[in-house]
Amino acid sequence: MTVAIAVSQLEKRYASGTVALKGISLEVGQGDFFALLGPNGAGKSTFIGILSTLVTKTAGEVRVFGRDVDTHIYQTKLDLGVVPQEINFSQFEKVGDVVRTQAGYYGLPRKLAAARSEKYLKQLGLWDKRNERSRSLSGGMKRRMMIARALVHEPRLLILDEPTAGVDIELRRSMWDFLLEINRAGTTIILTTHYLEEAEQLCRNIAIIDEGRIIENTSMKKLLLELDTHAYVLDTDGPLAGDVAHEEAGLSLRKTDAHSIEAVLSGGRDINSAIAVLDGLGIRVASMRNKANRLEQLFLSRLRANGGGEG
Ligand code: ADP
């Protein structure tokens, strides 16, 4: 695997004393679509800021396509396209000019700059707006314009900080399609998000960050496999006399209190098999409820295990 980003022992302490990153190490392969997922304040923007050379790190090393960013800042900037979370363009400039000016910063000749800005504004559905002042764009359009701007020098790596925050669902999907397309064409993409669905739809690999530490770093596929698990709470129609503990492939049962049993099913087993086992033990189920599951649940349980989260 060619490594696009290699980060080791990254630390960031702000002047205020806040330690935003507490020794982060991870790798992102070339061609990957990588999600950095975490709650507010986890350190995502700080991490992105350091990758994109806008925030100075306190300790650690960052390599972009094998180059140390401290000693190869210029080349690193050519390799990177960054879409920050906050609006950071001149609101009075015209849309076309915002994108063309950026091309100028990267030394693209005039003609090429014009061609590229046309290409990306068209792809992002903003070509008709090219002569309008950027402040007149809707929130979603502003974000798309920032994506066009980030791509104008055709970087190998695109970094997006919460790309669809505040973007309505329809636009979000079209933005996802666009990002998937440029990823397929070879651009490595790293994004931060707190929309779990977004990571699930887009990303091949994922890291979960919480309180400045990576608490999970795995493939989306593995994570989803782990999530192919459904948990139910079964309420019994009378108090349970003894203990209930049953384990077999794809089914585990355990007593949680005098009137309820938790059933955990995986590998395509359905709830009827749990009810049949209990029936065999002389236990009748009066009602049941599905415990919320999937990514949200896992995310929360990981955060809890880390001592944070909401529970
Ligand atoms: P996220 O993007 O995951 O919401 P951030 O990287 O923005 O998290 O913030 C991580 C922590 O660092 C937070 O506690 C935040 O308050 C703090 N922080 C972020 N930026 C600054 C800054 N410029 N100065 C001081 N503290 C900061």
> What string of pLDDT tens digits covers the 311 residues of the chain?
799 999 999 999 999 999 999 999 999 999 999 999 988 899 999 999 999 888 999 999 999 999 999 999 989 999 999 999 888 888 899 999 999 999 999 999 999 999 999 999 999 999 999 999 999 998 889 999 999 999 999 999 999 998 888 788 888 888 999 999 999 999 999 999 887 788 888 999 999 998 999 988 999 888 877 767 778 999 998 899 889 999 998 899 999 999 999 998 887 788 999 999 999 999 999 999 887 655 666 666 666 666 654 43
Cα–Cα distance for residue pair 296/145, rounded to 1 Å: 31
The neighbouring-strand residues paired with 8 are 61
Residue 16 CA, closest ligand 1 atom number: 25
| Count of other CB atoms within 10 angstroms of residue 291 | 12
Cα–Cα distance for residue pair 50/87, rounded to 1 Å: 18
Helical H runs in the chain? Answer: 44-51, 73-79, 95-105, 110-123, 139-151, 169-184, 196-202, 220-226, 271-280, 294-305
Cα–Cα distance for residue pair 254/7, rounded to 1 Å: 42
Rounded distance from Cα 40 to ligand 1 centre (Å): 9
Rounded distance from Cα 44 to ligand 1 centre (Å): 8
Spell out which residues line ligand 1, taking CB within 6 angstroms. 14, 16, 18, 20, 38, 40-46
Determine contact, residues 143/76, Cβ cutoff 8 Å.
no
Angle between helices 110-123 and 139-151 (to 10 degrees): 140
Rounded distance from Cα 167 to ligand 1 centre (Å): 23
